[in-house]
Chain A
Amino acid sequence: MKKPIIAIAGLTACSGCQLTLLNCEEELPEIAQRFIIDYFPLGLTERLITGPIDVAIVEGAVSTPSDLEILMKLRNSSHSLVALGTCALWGGIAAMKNQESRKDLAETVYGSAADGLKTFNPQPLHRFVKIDFAITGCPPETGELLATLAALLRGTFPVFPHYPVCSECRSRENLCLLIERNEMCLGPLIQAGCNARCPAVGIGCEGCRGPVTEANVAAETELLLKKGFPMDEIVSRMQRFYPEWDYEQRS
């Protein structure tokens, strides 16, 4: 079998998605054997993106000219490009206040020195380049990452199911935090695949995996309002990982 040549890079992010790969301790040696890792600054001393690359796996949102440059380079030298994680796919945590002025945010942190910063609103990769596949999650699940790598060995991408966190939550027989404890759980709106990690330990889903294919945003919002949460709290919570919810959407 021909070894796929891969590149792994991070843009504006916390490195958690790349760390997810390094957290596959058991599989790492096998991965190192089955793939040619061409570019991976976090784990490999190689500073140049030379290509041709079969698959570039990119973490993080795009928020600086240098991010964009790396992304373009990877896109141009790769056959396929995979968005790894919520930031790359949805914008993620750094994008939560994209509706506010970037300049003001910068000044809050850097004061007058903010002027010198070359940065713009963090955007998901697909705003700039075509993405061929995405693995969601903040951080992504090792299982999904490994399934993707395994599929790459076969020249394809895996098929993940499209249902909300609640589905996995119910099959795990968790207590429903939304119904039984009136907590603001975003499970009904969020793409499953994490096996409902958070509700399983008694914590409401914070929405780290982004919207599920079919999300009844309006109905969930109405439900939360009925439970007494103020709209601004709902919005603040929902925008944590994805700033662009349509609160009228029902399908």
Chain B
Amino acid sequence: MSSVLEISPLTRVEGHGRIEVHFAGTKVETVSLSLYESPRFFEALLKGKSYAEVPEIICRVCSLCSTVHRICSLHAIERAMDIQVSEQVRLYRELILYGGHIQSHALHLFCLVLPDCFNVAGLAGLADKAPQELQRWLRIKSAGNLIQETVGGRTIHPVTLIPGGMGKPVAREGLLKLKEALQRVLPETHQAYELFRPFLPNGDKLATPRYLSVRPEGASPFLGDNLTMGNGETIPADSYMNLLCERMSGTGNAKTILVKNQPATVGALARLNLGMPLTPMAAAAFEESRMLLTDADIRANNLAQAVELILTVERSLDIIEILLKADFTREEPARIVPKKGRGSTAVEAPRGLLIHSYSFDGRGICRGADIITPTVINQAAMERDLLALATHMEGADDEALTDALERLVRAYDPCISCAVHVLKI
């Protein structure tokens, strides 16, 4: 007798998704993951738009990662148009990128995952059971938001960042306020890391992931021109197409991607395993949990994100220090003379590798766009792990299975709005 367990909608993840587990008797036959978010055809929306409009439109792909989408798109446009930006702009963009990571990780850890740690259904449960902790963790999130708001002019879909430069730089008082807020939450990020350390699964191990990330250059852990894999292989970001191949997945509106015909895993855990540069406190935390994190399956991703919270707060403080010293004044954005060309760049989004690639005509009108999001890359591995976990758990009751599978999906921190936008390659 065959039966189906349907988990729909997936809760405490961004966007609309569904899992179906098909059983033959008690044996798990297949597990399907469908991301049925309505497609918004962003690549098609961009076609015919001037380069200047592209970042403002594309950041609306997803609110959790609007900042990194905007930055990635600026980089791709500037690559296509051959534009260099100033040191000031580079620093501000890096700072807001960290703000985006803090905001996104904090949201994931404290609003979506934390209820699991306290065995409650959601925020109201947390507010009941752990009101003080909740307030404390949310402070970390608001520090991330403060970076977005101060540097980007808004917490979601930041507005200041434009091709070739930026609007007004932050006034000194703004930077000092930011500094204060970040300094205040730095110890708290460490406590958050302590909080997530015990919550690692100790049952059956899932497949060891094939990690993939941007190869960091310089001190910034999230920026670089090359992609790197666990086996040490490195390829330039703009030839990403040689690495990734795409397959239309069965049921949802997203497409899945294989790397060299195998599922790849991107995100905080991948970055830590692929040796991104760490700051002192983050390095100490990583060192302490090296055993838990190295070659771990995706369920360690929550802890990895907690390590990155420390990292990003520390890095933000470094940059603010530099900005305070430099005392920049407002500058005009670089003059852009539109030209025909293509630009592809990669940035590490909170959830992992993000690629934007555009081609423009001589008037700077977008003629083609390709956006590959981390959730799309992770989808194949997610399906693989879901099947493995369901199989391990054969015989468990529906509730326990539902709970475990949902937690597994959550560990990937999927962003389904982003996932459904991917162009044929």
Taking Cβ atoms with an 8 Å cutoff, the residues of A that contact B are 10-17, 19-20, 22-23, 25-26, 28-29, 32-33, 36-37, 40-47, 63-64, 66-67, 92-94, 96-97, 104-106, 108-111, 113, 117, 119, 122, 138-139, 142, 197-198, 200-203, 206, 208, 233, 236-237, 240
Are B153 and A15 in contact, CB atoms less than 8 angstroms apart? no
- A106-B39 contact, Cβ under 8 Å, with A15-B15, A202-B167: yes
In the assembled complex, which residues on chain A have CB atoms less than 8 Å from the CB atom of B390?
A: none
Are A14 and B406 in contact, CB atoms less than 8 angstroms apart? no
- A12, A97, A110 — which one has the most chain B CB atoms within 10 A of its CB? A110
Min Cβ gap A101→B in Å is 10
CB-nearest residue of chain A relative to B150? A201
Are A236 and B159 in contact, CB atoms less than 8 angstroms apart? no
Are A32 and B123 in contact, CB atoms less than 8 angstroms apart? yes
Complex CA distance for A146 and B185, rounded to whole angstroms: 25
When A and B form their complex, which 6 residue pairs have the shortest distance between CB atoms, in order from nearest? A16-B63, A44-B122, A202-B167, A32-B127, A12-B38, A108-B44
Are A29 and B63 in contact, CB atoms less than 8 angstroms apart? no
Tell me, yes or no, whether B124 is within 8 Å of chain A by CB. yes
Are B44 and A203 in contact, CB atoms less than 8 angstroms apart? no
Sample of 17 A–B contacts (CB below 8 Å):
A12-B38, A16-B60, A20-B155, A28-B138, A42-B11, A44-B121, A66-B38, A93-B45, A97-B41, A111-B424, A113-B248, A139-B63, A139-B154, A142-B155, A202-B160, A202-B168, A206-B56
Number of interface residues of B (CB under 8 A): 72
Residue in A40, A47, A63, A92 whose beta carbon sits within 8 Å of that of B122 in the complex:
A40
In the assembled complex, which residues on chain A have CB atoms less than 8 Å from the CB atom of B167?
A: 201-203
In the assembled complex, which residues on chain A have CB atoms less than 8 Å from the CB atom of B154?
A: 139, 197
Residue in A29, A208, A236 whose beta carbon sits within 8 Å of that of B134 in the complex:
A29
Are B156 and A201 in contact, CB atoms less than 8 angstroms apart? no
Are B41 and A106 in contact, CB atoms less than 8 angstroms apart? yes
Are B123 and A14 in contact, CB atoms less than 8 angstroms apart? no
Are B123 and A203 in contact, CB atoms less than 8 angstroms apart? no
Complex CA distance for A48 and B9, rounded to whole angstroms: 9
Complex CA distance for A22 and B39, rounded to whole angstroms: 24
Residue in A28, A93, A109 whose beta carbon sits within 8 Å of that of B57 in the complex:
A93
In the assembled complex, which residues on chain A have CB atoms less than 8 Å from the CB atom of B115?
A: 45
- A46-B41 contact, Cβ under 8 Å, with A19-B63, A22-B111: no
In the assembled complex, which residues on chain B have CB atoms less than 8 Å from the CB atom of A12?
A: 37-38, 40
Apart from A45-B122, A108-B43, A113-B248, list 6 A-B contacts with CB within 8 A: A16-B60, A37-B123, A44-B124, A96-B57, A105-B44, A111-B424
CB-nearest residue of chain B relative to A66? B36
- A93-B60 contact, Cβ under 8 Å, with A15-B15, A45-B406, A201-B153: yes
In the assembled complex, which residues on chain A have CB atoms less than 8 Å from the CB atom of B36?
A: 64, 66
Are A198 and B135 in contact, CB atoms less than 8 angstroms apart? no
Are B39 and A97 in contact, CB atoms less than 8 angstroms apart? no
Complex CA distance for A59 and B111, rounded to whole angstroms: 19
Complex CA distance for A237 and B56, rounded to whole angstroms: 10
Min Cβ gap B183→A in Å is 18
Complex CA distance for A19 and B363, rounded to whole angstroms: 36
- A67, A117, A201 — which one has the most chain B CB atoms within 10 A of its CB? A201
Tell me, yes or no, whether B312 is within 8 Å of chain A by CB. no
- Residues of B402-417 at the interface with A, using a CB-CB cut-off of 8 Å, are 406, 417
Chain-A contact segment, one of B139-147, B274-282, B336-344: B139-147
Residue in A22, A206, A233 whose beta carbon sits within 8 Å of that of B107 in the complex:
A22
Min Cβ gap A145→B in Å is 12
Are B12 and A23 in contact, CB atoms less than 8 angstroms apart? no
Min Cβ gap A201→B in Å is 4
In the assembled complex, which residues on chain B have CB atoms less than 8 Å from the CB atom of A11?
A: 38
Are B122 and A43 in contact, CB atoms less than 8 angstroms apart? yes
In the assembled complex, which residues on chain B have CB atoms less than 8 Å from the CB atom of A119?
A: 38-39
Are A96 and B160 in contact, CB atoms less than 8 angstroms apart? no
Residue in B49, B63, B124 whose beta carbon sits within 8 Å of that of A37 in the complex:
B124
In the assembled complex, which residues on chain A have CB atoms less than 8 Å from the CB atom of B79?
A: none
Residue in A26, A37, A109 whose beta carbon sits within 8 Å of that of B142 in the complex:
A26
In the assembled complex, which residues on chain A have CB atoms less than 8 Å from the CB atom of B156?
A: 16, 19-20, 23, 139
Min Cβ gap B265→A in Å is 23
Are B40 and A117 in contact, CB atoms less than 8 angstroms apart? no
Are B66 and A32 in contact, CB atoms less than 8 angstroms apart? no
Tell me, yes or no, whether B61 is within 8 Å of chain A by CB. yes
Complex CA distance for A122 and B45, rounded to whole angstroms: 13
Tell me, yes or no, whether B423 is within 8 Å of chain A by CB. yes
Complex CA distance for A73 and B141, rounded to whole angstroms: 33
Are B38 and A15 in contact, CB atoms less than 8 angstroms apart? no
- A46-B45 contact, Cβ under 8 Å, with A41-B9, A236-B53: no
CB-nearest residue of chain A relative to B40? A94
Are A14 and B417 in contact, CB atoms less than 8 angstroms apart? yes
Residue in B11, B57, B64 whose beta carbon sits within 8 Å of that of A240 in the complex:
B57
Complex CA distance for A106 and B167, rounded to whole angstroms: 35
Are A197 and B60 in contact, CB atoms less than 8 angstroms apart? no
Are B50 and A198 in contact, CB atoms less than 8 angstroms apart? no
Are B41 and A43 in contact, CB atoms less than 8 angstroms apart? no
Complex CA distance for A45 and B409, rounded to whole angstroms: 14
In the assembled complex, which residues on chain B have CB atoms less than 8 Å from the CB atom of A26?
A: 138, 142
